[in-house]
Amino acid sequence: MFSKVLVAEDYEIANQGIIKVLNDKIGIHNIEEAKYCDDAYLKFRKAHNDQEVFELLITDLSFREDHKIQTRTSGIELIKDIRSIQPDIKVIVYSQEDRPDKINMLFENLNIDGYVCKGQDAIQELVACVQGVYQGNTVWPPEITNNSAANTMIHLDDLDIILLEELSQGFTKKEIRIKLKKQNISPNSESAIDKRVSKLFDDFKAKNTTHLVAIVKDLGIL
């Protein structure tokens, strides 16, 4: 079983609840907690520098604002920064977020190892998730595995990601087409790009480019 775990959760009750589950139900006792992403990152860096690395990160997605200026304000940013230093650390997200598309994006884009939705079955699911991840499995929540919405989740390819990144930087479709041609990325015709962008608008139910960019950032895609 995991010997050292980092828990990032800003609500004290939830934080202590996770620790109690890890202690009593799974037998993990070497646990450090943090209420803010920057604090969690600092604890991670210290452990990494001391060669006493964490094997598992359990983090929420949303964190309350603090009177201090925080460099990292979300679990997504925390995961990215930690994984950039220790790519093999296991990551479980523990959150109230239950939208299948957002959960799916976390698995696809951040390569998280498990997801647990806060709720009445959270304790049982957290235990199963930690045990499954330790065994090398990717543990999806019942909100997806038991939900017909999973069949309609949005799947993006490399070109979709490129288009979203370029749109988020304010480039027009014409400017994007020129850049794709220069980089020999295809398809790059005007009609192909129009169709792709239109599909992205439909998939994410976006009203305009600004709305689309806001949605995909919220989903953790960018």
SS3 annotation, the chain: CCCCEEEECCCHHHHHHHHHHHHHHHCCCCEEEECCHHHHHHHHHHHHHCCCCCCEEEECCECCCCCCCCCCCEHHHHHHHHHHHCCCCEEEEEECCCCHHHHHHHHHHHCCCEEEECCCCHHHHHHHHHHHHHCCCCECCHHHHCCHHHHHCCCCCHHHHHHHHHHHCCCCHHHHHHHHHHCCCCCCCHHHHHHHHHHHHHHHCCCCHHHHHHHHHHCCCC
Q: Would the pLDDT of 185 be above 80? A: yes
Domains and CATH numbers, the chain: 5-151 (3.40.50.2300), 154-218 (1.10.10.10)
Tens digit of each residue's pLDDT (9 = 90 or more) over 146-180: 655 555 567 777 888 889 999 999 999 889 999 89
Question: 113 pLDDT band (50/70/90 cuts)?
Answer: very high
Distance CA 59, CA 11 (A): 11
Tens digit of each residue's pLDDT (9 = 90 or more) over 51-95: 999 999 999 988 877 666 678 878 999 999 999 999 999 999 999
